[in-house]
Amino acid sequence: MKILLIGATGTLGRAVHAALRERGHEIVTASRTGSEISVDITDPDSIRAMYERAGRLDAVAGAAGGVPWKPFTELSAQDVRDGLTGKAFSQIELVRQGTARVAEDGSFTLISGVLVRDPLVRGSMASVANGAVEAFVRAAAIELPHRQRINAVSPTVFTESMDRYGDLFAGFEPVPVAMAANAYIRSIEGRQTGQVYEM
């Protein structure tokens, strides 16, 4: 399959890239920097240009999305907008524009995260944005055209990221990033839709 991987240079993106390539798929990489295609997923025009460069696809795998990390009482209205745009709107837009670019039996795999079900202090925007992504996946699954599918991967903190984020996720059981990469394989190569793969 020809798969567009967005966020290919991050910890998760690199693991997904390696897992998909090992299975013989053709991967087109996209991210802000360091990939075949440069994209700002918060900008619909940039997403449109990315799809035009990528050409016809069998699947889209999203592994990117940022949110502000601040105490709730310190969030500005712009922080809220940025969080929703960076993680939720951006991925919804990937799907909205992508339905015309992906094969009739193709798929979309989005990224959510553990904070939708297990919140942290300073992580309220992550919880909200992840919740929006998961709600969208379930709703879009019954509306996507043809036989297109959509799922989300919702991991906890990665073992490989504990040196940077371990203090934030104190007491959380980390998982290897390869586990999340396997969930992308399951979503892309399988036939399920409307699923959130938690780990």
pLDDT of the residue at 188: 98
pLDDT of residue 72: 96
pLDDT, the chain, mean: 97
pLDDT average, residue stretch 30-54: 98
Specify whether the CB–CB gap between 107 and 59 falls below 8 A. yes
Per-residue pLDDT of 44-88, as tens digits, reads 999 999 999 999 999 999 999 999 999 999 999 999 999 999 999
- State yes or no: pLDDT of 43 exceeds 90: yes
Tokens of 44: 């619909």
Give the single-character DSSP code of 148.
Answer: -
Contact 40, 89 (CB under 8 A): no
Helical spans, DSSP H, in the chain: 11-22, 44-54, 77-83, 90-98, 124-140, 162-165, 177-189
For residue 176 the two structure tokens come to: 């290897």
Residue 150 φ/ψ, nearest 5 degrees: -150, 135
Is residue 166 over pLDDT 90? no
Rounded mean pLDDT, 3-23: 98
Q: What is the pLDDT of residue 114?
A: 98
